[in-house]
Amino acid sequence: VLLGRSAPRPDAARRVAALRAAGVRVETLRCDVADEARLRSALDEVRAELPPLRGVVHAAGLLDDATIGTLTERQLDTVLRPKTEGAHCLDRVTAADPLDLFVLFSSAAALVGNAGQAAYAAANAALDALAELRRLRGRPALSVQWGPFTDVGLAATDDRRGARLAERGMGGFPTAEAWTALVRLLTSEETVVGYVPIDPRRWFDANPDTAALTSWSRLHAAAREESPGTPAGDGAFRARLLEADRGGRVELAQEKVRELAGRVLRLDPDGVEPDSPFKALGLDSLMSLELRNRLEAAFGMKLSPTLLWAYGNTKALAGALCDQLAPAEESH
């Protein structure tokens, strides 16, 4: 029984048809899982016509990314409702059913905190908490903090989002791998499990603040062990900057800004001209946050959240970074 707010799209309809042709009975029902009255009515229909309900998989989800400072109440409700309200409605409406499994599709956003996804991270963390609560009550529950699927789902439908996650060190995987993993996880005793491929060095490069968190200490140590000869964080590039004279320092800074801006914008660094405004190249608030993180790691200093908007092109930003580096050098 497949519940959804809308009718199956063509690709889903083809899969349903293939299942039916193979002898599987498949029912598709229009239902907002966060509407408890409608959900209860839909499941009453299912119970009247089909064998007992033995399992629930809650995979609903919506994205509406925004930084904390720009997040609106409407966006928060849009993201939270299908995840949190939907899960709690399913929990209440199936309380009397003899369930063998109750699977919640959480997200790695709840595990690692992707930039711009505070609402989405909170929604998925709520799923994790519900799974823990159900287990305490002696009921089945598994919440899986999935990384990006490469062939279906929110990341797959937005190539740019998936590419940006991969650039930051978070890889994806096909659904065939996920189903195999899910079968294995259902036989384990774990309640909340993260399943996401992470390249530690690239992750800490894009998210330097996480390196200082105790929850990341083991991964951070593993990243350093993988490349023991490579200085962590800002060491190598910062050392080159400090050894150069003013002219050479600015040139190095411009090259680094172009390189990092190109990575964030998914552009060839040669296409990031010194005087081209970052906004004109497509830099938004989320990309700005990522670029600032990368600049902080490379230059080895904390930067103002408004720096990229105050110095809105490569040339101006490189000069400002060198100016900020100089007082730091003198203080030592």
Task: Please tell me which residue, 54 or 169, carries the higher pLDDT value.
Answer: 54
Span(s) in the chain for CATH 1.10.1200.10: 235-331
What is the rounded distance in angstroms from the CA atom of residue 221 to the CA atom of residue 219? 5
Tell me the pTM.
Answer: 0.71
Return the DSSP state at 8.
Answer: P
Instruction: Provide the total of helices (H) and of strands (E) in the chain, helices listed first.
Output: 16, 6
What is the rounded distance in angstroms from the CA atom of residue 174 to the CA atom of residue 163? 15
Q: Of the CATH numbers 1.25.40.10, 1.10.1200.10, 3.40.50.300, 2.40.50.140, which one belongs to the domain with range 235-331? A: 1.10.1200.10
Long-range contacts of 124-131 (CB under 8 A, 24+ apart): 124/83, 126/80, 126/83, 126/84, 126/87, 127/58, 127/83, 127/84, 127/87, 128/104, 128/192, 130/87, 130/88, 130/91, 130/104, 131/102, 131/104, 131/191, 131/192
- The pLDDT tens digits of the residues spanning 73-132 come to 999 999 999 999 999 999 999 999 999 999 999 999 998 877 788 999 999 999 999 999
Span(s) in the chain for CATH 3.40.50.720: 31-198
The arithmetic mean of pLDDT across residues 23-32, rounded, is: 94
Q: Which of 187, 185, 11, 10 is nearest to 106 (CA)?
A: 185
Domain 31-198: give its CATH superfamily.
NAD(P)-binding Rossmann-like Domain (3.40.50.720)
